[in-house]
Structure 1
Amino acid sequence: MKRDDPPYYGSITQCHEVPITFPAQHQDRQPGLEYLMNPKPVYDNPNYIGTGKLKDKVAIVTGGDSGIGRAVAVAFAKEGTDLVIVFMKSEERDAQTTKAAIEKLGRSALLLPIDLRQHGAADQIVAQTLERYGKINSLINNAGVQFPQPSLEAISDKQLETTFDVNIKAMFRLSRAVIPHLQRGDSIVNTTSIQAYIASRNLIDYASTKGAIVSFTRALAHSLAGQGIRVNAIAPGPIWTPLQPASWSADTVQTLGADTPMKRAGQPYELAPAYVLLASDDGSYITGQVIHINGGQTMAS
Structure 2
Amino acid sequence: MTAPRPLGGKVAVVTGGATGIGAAVVARLADDGADVVLGALTAAEGEAAATRLRRDGREIVPVGADLATAEGCRTLIDAAVHHKGRIDILVNNAGITGPPAVAEFTEYDDARLDAVIDVNLKAPFRCARAAVPHMAPGSVIVNITSVAAYAAQVNASAYVAAKAGLAGLTRALGFELAGRGIRAVHVAPGDIQVQPDAPAAQPGPFDRRTPLGRRGDPAEVAAAVAWLCTVEAAFVTGTGLVVDGGWISY
Q: TM-score, normalised by structure 2?
A: 0.90
Q: 5+ residue gaps in structure 2?
A: none
| Matched letter for residue 144 of structure 1 | G
- C-alpha distance in 2 between matches for 1:104 and 1:228: 30
| Matched letter for residue 221 of structure 2 | L
Look up the SS of the partner of 1:83 in the other structure: strand
Q: For residue 104 of structure 1, what is the aligned residue in structure 2?
A: 55
Alignment of 1:49-128 (within 5 A): 51-89=4-42, 92-93=44-45, 95-128=46-79
> Based on CA coordinates, which of the two structures has the bigger radius of gyration?
1
Q: Deviations over 1:237-275 (max 9, x none)?
A: 011126x99xxxx99x96426611012211101111111
Q: For residue 204 of structure 1, what is the aligned residue in structure 2?
A: 157
Matched, 1:220 2:170: no
Native 8 Å contact 1:50 1:75 kept in 2: no
| Matched letter for residue 233 of structure 2 | G
| Matched letter for residue 67 of structure 2 | L
Q: Provide closer, same or farther for how the CA distance between residues 50 and 141 of structure 1 changes in structure 2, counting only shifts above 3 A.
A: farther
Q: For residue 162 of structure 1, what is the aligned residue in structure 2?
A: 115
Native 8 Å contact 1:149 1:155 kept in 2: no
Alignment of 1:133-172 (within 5 A): 133-147=84-98, 148-172=101-125
Native 8 Å contact 2:202 2:215 kept in 1: no
Look up the SS of the partner of 1:271 in the other structure: helix
Look up the SS of the partner of 2:70 in the other structure: coil
Matched, 1:261 2:211: yes
What percent of counterpart residues are identical? 34
Look up the SS of the partner of 1:104 in the other structure: coil
- C-alpha distance in 2 between matches for 1:178 and 1:172: 10
Q: Provide closer, same or farther for how the CA distance between residues 281 and 101 of structure 1 changes in structure 2, counting only shifts above 3 A.
A: farther
| Matched letter for residue 291 of structure 1 | L
- C-alpha distance in 2 between matches for 1:171 and 1:267: 23
Structure 1 stretches of 4+ moved >6 Å: none
User: Which of structures 1 and 2 has the larger relative contact order (alpha carbons within 8 angstroms, sep 6+)?
Assistant: 1
Look up the SS of the partner of 1:298 in the other structure: helix
- C-alpha distance in 2 between matches for 1:50 and 1:65: 29
- C-alpha distance in 1 between matches for 2:4 and 2:158: 40
Aligned length: 244
